[in-house]
Structure formats: C-alpha cells, structure tokens
Amino acid sequence: MNEDQFEGKWDRMKGKVREHWGRLTDDDVEEVQGRRQNLLAKIQEKYGDTKEAADEKLREFERRF
C-alpha cells in the first residue's frame, strides 16, 4: 500500500491498528495522522523493532487489512 492509499484508508484502519498493536496508546495512534512513516516509527519505538522488521510487520498488517 502506498502512502496515499494508506492515508485514504486511515480512518477505517485506526481501530484495527489499536487492536493489532496493543502497546500503541490512543495518543500514539492519533499522532500518526494517517501517515505510514509515522506509524512505522511508532511501531519501532514501542516494540523495539528495527526499521526493516517493523516495515515487514506493517506490510503483513496491510495485506490482511
């Protein structure tokens, strides 16, 4: 999913993001503001993943969404 598609689907995805990544707070999710790179950074921060690992997890989530 590219950045524009991600941003366009963000409102529908927020709830699923909260369910899938339980360590992200509501404030974290709101700070993302529909930007894929912001979500990627939050996943890295909260889960201690490398950028590559976080990106792979996010890509898997996007495929299932």
- Domains in the chain, number: 1
Measured CA to CA, the distance from residue 15 to residue 49 in angstroms comes to 22
CATH number at residue 30: 1.10.1470.10
Q: Which two tokens stand for residue 47?
A: 């889960």
Residue 17's pLDDT is what? 96
Q: Which domain holds residue 25?
A: 3-64
**CB 20 within 8 Å of CB 43:** no
Task: Give the tens place of pLDDT for each residue, 5-63.
Answer: 999 999 999 999 999 999 999 999 999 999 999 999 999 999 999 999 999 999 999 99
Residue 7's pLDDT is what? 92
Residue 21's pLDDT is what? 96
pTM of the model: 0.90
Confidence class of residue 65 from pLDDT cuts 50, 70 and 90?
A: confident
